[in-house]
Amino acid sequence: MDVNTGSPTLVGEGFELRALVRPDADALLALLLQPGVARWWGAYDAGKVERDFFGQECAYTYLIIVDGEIAGVLQFHEVTDPDYKSAGIDITLGEVYQDRGLGTRALKRLIRYLIDERGHHRMTIDPATDNRRAIHTYEKVGFRTVGVMRDYERDITGAWHDGLLMDLLAREFGAE
Ligand SMILES: CC(C)(COP(=O)(O)OP(=O)(O)OC[C@H]1O[C@@H](n2cnc3c(N)ncnc32)[C@H](O)[C@@H]1OP(=O)(O)O)[C@@H](O)C(=O)NCCC(=O)NCCS
């Protein structure tokens, strides 16, 4: 069974987060191929969409829906060992939906769900160190820098680049 089956729709201000389903695969790939997304999320094809969004246990994917359109993707991966329980988050918005406050609002909505409904006390996120907009956005949401992970991920040019590990604790997350 698809790991996303059963994820509830989460309603936010001007958007909703809806679980990814298989018929979304082509539209998701089209979003990931936009240059302003691929620059930060790397190279995708249909096979990688299948592996990353449908084939991973404990990795759940939501689409960010605005006026019925797919505006972006939010994914979280759960560490289920009770002694290390946490949720790692990834986000991207389609080019025309960036820089409107949507990323901040969508992240806050997902984090509220992760805390209240899935019992998480710690969330992590790991932007590229040169993704200043993403880092600033995550700081607005409440994430703090833990440190630099050197040569953490390969970018679309094939080069390794550093990632910034950031975390946020439930007890520091304000009422939204
Ligand atoms: C990163 C992303 C999720 C942020 O969502 P968003 O809706 O665009 O962000 P918001 O509009 O909520 O906030 C953006 C903030 O960054 C600021 N900003 C924009 N460009 C910036 C830059 N080059 N350097 C620093 N800050 C920048 C904006 O001024 C705003 O801050 P403010 O509200 O204090 O003025 C979105 O831009 C995106 O998907 N980008 C492309 C893919 C990507 O980078 N994904 C993240 C991978 S970790």
Per the structure, how many domains does the chain have? 1
Ligand 1 contacts (CB < 6 A) are: 36-37, 40, 91-93, 98-104, 127, 131-134, 136-137, 140
CATH number of the domain that 40 lies in?
Answer: 3.40.630.30
Q: Is there a domain that residue 1 lies in?
A: no
Closest C-alpha to 174, from 147, 125, 140: 140
Long-range contacts of 75-83 (CB under 8 A, 24+ apart): 76/110, 76/114, 78/118, 78/120
Q: How far is the CA of 147 from the centre of ligand 1 (A)?
A: 20
Q: What is the per-residue pLDDT across 135-165, written as a single tens digit (0 to 9) for each?
A: 999 999 999 999 999 999 998 888 999 999 9
Q: Is there a domain that residue 3 lies in?
A: no
Q: How far is the CA of 83 from the centre of ligand 1 (A)?
A: 33
Q: How far is the CA of 171 from the centre of ligand 1 (A)?
A: 24
pTM: 0.96
Q: What is the per-residue pLDDT across 57-107, written as a single tens digit (0 to 9) for each?
A: 889 999 999 999 999 999 999 998 999 999 999 999 999 999 999 999 999
Q: Is there a domain that residue 4 lies in?
A: no
Quote the domain boundaries for residue 147: 10-172
Q: Is there a domain that residue 5 lies in?
A: no
